Structure 1
Amino acid sequence: YLQDEERVTVTAPDPLIESSFRMPKKLMDADLFVTLPKLKVNMYATVTLSVKNHIGLLLAADRLTHHHYDIHKKIADLYRTRLPDFIITDAIVAGEGQGPMHAAAVGLGLLIAGKNGVAVDSVSARLMGYEPEEIEHVVHLAARGIGPTSLEEIEVEGAELLSARARKMARPRVDFDDYAPHVRVVVGSELACPEGCVGMIRGSLDAFFQKGDWGRLTGYTFIVGKPCVVPAGLDPRKTVVIGDCAAAYAGRGTFIPGCPIPPMEISRTLVKKGIIPPVNTRLRDLGWGSLAHALGIKVR
């Protein structure tokens, strides 16, 4: 597995936000790099296609850096460290709705392949009902000449088949209006990142929502972002404060530090509270948010 491979530090050319990445040495030395993304919507990065697929090359701890409002810049920087030689996007069964963790299956029966990731992603995005201009990391790369987004500049074979299979996929919700009245989420009015802590809440709680069974979670309040108008009289045993932006409210309940918090940290907290049974997670992933907070690292 790539996470077990030796790493080398690779500098991103003219970086937007992140100047270097620890990449698998085997990948950087390889003569041929083929990437195989699964086509789906993504509440953190708009879509998962070939460019976003590069996040999977990083170690777990490195993925959290700039995993907030700057995530698209991070993805664009990462992608330019090693461009793929060929892309095969799997749209045989795609994913819509609350992707990436709770997407609903959509049968499209297609593979989209090509040599330029920006071009392949632009065609794939239209298959999902997105315009390339809606995908910020694709826009960043196109502006730097990595590839075209206009169909006038892309040679597409099987365009009629693509058009026939295209559909407007359901997009992820990153608000919480559909949770009421079971669970209350208090969201900061100035800074609360769908790409970070807000998305982590939805990614963790959507399983309850989709089952329609909130169980012991009914009556809980989650606080995220800043500044927040926090209701009086909250039960601290049923209040969870999410992320460094909400640290001012840490005393109101259980505080989970991080910017953003690690993906499994909410589940770990709910396990400790007896809301859900224990889950199989890696301690190194769960511990990173607390360690980074203790060290004063604000973007991990």
Structure 2
Amino acid sequence: MKIPAQPKVIIRSCRDYDPERIRTIIREGLEELGLRPFGRTLVKPNLVAAGPLFPYAYTRPEFGEGVLRALRDVGGSSMTELAAGERCGITVPTRVAFRESGWDAMLKKIDVKRYCFEEEQQVEIPISHPQRLRDYLFTPEPIARADFFVNCPKFKAHPWTTVTFSLKAYIGIQDDRHRLIDHDHKLNEKIADLQHIVQPSFIAIDAITAGEGRMLTPTPFPLGLIIMGNSQVAFDAVCCAIIGVDPKTVDHIRLAEEHGFGTTDISKIKITGDVTLEEAQKRAKGFKVGLIRVEKYFEGTNITAYAGPPPEAEAGEYCWGGCPGAIEEAIEILRVFDKETDKKMPRLHVVFGKYQGDIDAKAGEKVIFIGDCADWKGTLHGKPVELKSIYKDRSTLDPHSARSQDIFAKLAAAKGKLRGDVVRLEGCPVSVAEQVLALVSVAEVNGLKNPYYDRNNMVTFGRAYLGWKARVTLNKLQRRRYQQNGAFRERGQAAPELQT
């Protein structure tokens, strides 16, 4: 797919989640952009998390229904397959997100195929642009084979990347083992690299109820918009303009522009629709983004955070894409699940990166060094302590041999990792789920509830987990390898074509 030389973004008003109203708006958007779905048409929503704890984190099923029905209206017999696919937040089976979000019931109602990307074969896509972090990436086969790719993200803030619009949602086109590689202080570069796998012909973002402040537990913001476009960088630039953010200050958008995926120059983007950019900006007045350093975030709580720079070999004063942001999301999940989380949390100190300074931990206060790059030397509880970085240079990480850890293994190991007053959690990054478990282990003596042990969550999770593992086992019995090494040749027409 070629990047449009003349990008267009359409801003339409839509105050309610009425599938038929959404269907009409999307159909009109496709027609205005001159697009007709064809071949393998794949829709990717943002289902990073769903269910009672995450009511505003995902693309709503009513929005998805409107999009899918409109694609069928316009594409008709030109499509050989119409499907929806996603990989939700790591460790949790995507079946949970599809079920809890209402997408499963909706897809069944309108007879559209579902892909849980971690249950599909992962195929290798070579990349060769000069700025790349590595020479190849892995992605689920349905992504690699797509002819007409549709990105349907949620309009949200993000604690690691400022915003999550169209470009950032590409984290969901990788399974756990590959997603965590470079999901650190190079996260923005990783997002830019992922653009070289596939490009959407059409983008439609659920901005009817936007999510401000957080990524998993955002505050609802009634924006009342559906925004559509045909070029990701231009699309994200307009979304940024709506909330008053300079897109060039959002690193993954700036990098994607440098890679050739479109322009951030608003004067070069044709903006149409029944809502002007200025009117959209008025609707978005006061929208809060999520970029906040961990030290500031925990001020006034029982947790004191300390953060130094990531590994010296790689420039940067703070790891925006890794462990610090993950603990912010972790505590927010616990706050939603247990309203007394802050009261039940004992005095705790968490340390990230190569921190140089004092740690004011009193007797009996636990100190947790989080992440492989944590590095510190000093005195704690009257004793000398030295922890050296165990960070492995990214050149030593081979996606061919990457592995992910099972959630039940993480549950079993959580308590053992936190024995003692001074402990380290290894990982790069240490995931949101692992940090949830760590915080619960520290505070369970005070009665803090564990969301993973909630009866309703366990039933839903267990059913999905068994279904996931059964599907993977069936694939093995059919001699279908989970990961296919070597350049994948059967690419669909959504593979990007960049001008050289």
TM-score norm. by structure 1 comes to: 0.84
What's the counterpart of residue 272 of structure 1?
A: 441
Match of 1:170 in 2: 288
Contact 2:351 2:369 survives alignment (8 Å): yes
Q: Who wins on radius of gyration, i.e. which is larger? A: 2
- Residues 233 and 188 of structure 1: is their aligned pair in 2 closer, same or farther, counting only changes over 3 Å? closer
The question of 1:18 aligning with 2:152 is answered no
Q: Provide, for residues 92-126 of structure 1, a one-character-per-residue CA deviation record: whole Å limited to 9, x for no partner.
A: 111111x2022111111111111111111111111
2:205 is aligned to 89
Query: What is the deviation of 1:227?
Result: 2.3
**Equivalent-residue separation in structure 2 for 1:203 and 1:119 (angstroms):** 29
RMSD (CA atoms): 2.6
Provide the secondary structure at the position in 2 that maps to 1:204: helix
1:232-291 residue CA offsets vs partner (Å, 9 max, x unmatched)? 65446632221112255568523211121122111112333426333339899xxxxxxx
Matched position secondary structure for 1:254: strand
**Contact (CA 8 Å) 2:368, 2:424: kept in 1 or not?**
yes
2:218 counterpart SS class:
strand
Conserved? CA contact 1:69–1:196, under 8 Å:
yes
2:149 paired with 1:33 = yes
User: What's the offset of the Cα at 1:209?
Assistant: 6.5
* Aligned residue in 2 for 1:218: 346
- For 2:241, the equivalent position in structure 1 comes to 126
| 1:97-246 matched pairs, under 5 angstroms | 97=213, 99-158=214-273, 160-166=275-281, 167=284, 168-172=286-290, 173-177=292-296, 179-191=298-310, 192-207=318-333, 211=339, 213-231=341-359, 234-235=362-363, 238-246=366-374
Which structure carries more relative contact order (alpha carbon 8 Å, separation 6+)?
2
The count of corresponding residues between Structure 1 and Structure 2 is: 283
**Structure 1 runs not aligned, ≥5 long:** 285-300
2:350 alignment partner, SS class: strand
Cα distance change, pair 245–89 in 1 and its aligned pair in 2 (3 A): same
Supply the AA of the counterpart residue of 1:242. Answer: I
C-alpha displacement at 1:77, in angstroms?
A: 0.4
Residue from 257, 274, 278 that aligns with 2:426:
257
So what's the TM-score if we normalise by structure 2?
0.52
Change (3 A) 1:266 1:230: farther
Deviation for aligned residue 1:230: 3.9
The residue number in structure 2 matching 1:297 is: none
Taking the aligned partners of 2:158 and 2:184, their CA distance within structure 1 comes to 14
Question: What does residue 383 of structure 2 align with?
Answer: none
5+ long unaligned stretches in structure 2:
1-115, 311-317, 377-385, 388-419, 453-457, 466-500
C-alpha contact (below 8 Å) 2:349/2:368 kept by paired residues: yes
Structure 1 residues 170-229: Cα deviation after superposition (integer angstroms, max 9, x where no partner): 122233335334323342333341321111121112356685751221312112221242
Q: Distance in 2 between matches of 1:174 and 1:69?
A: 13
Q: Percent of aligned positions with the same letter in both sequences?
A: 26
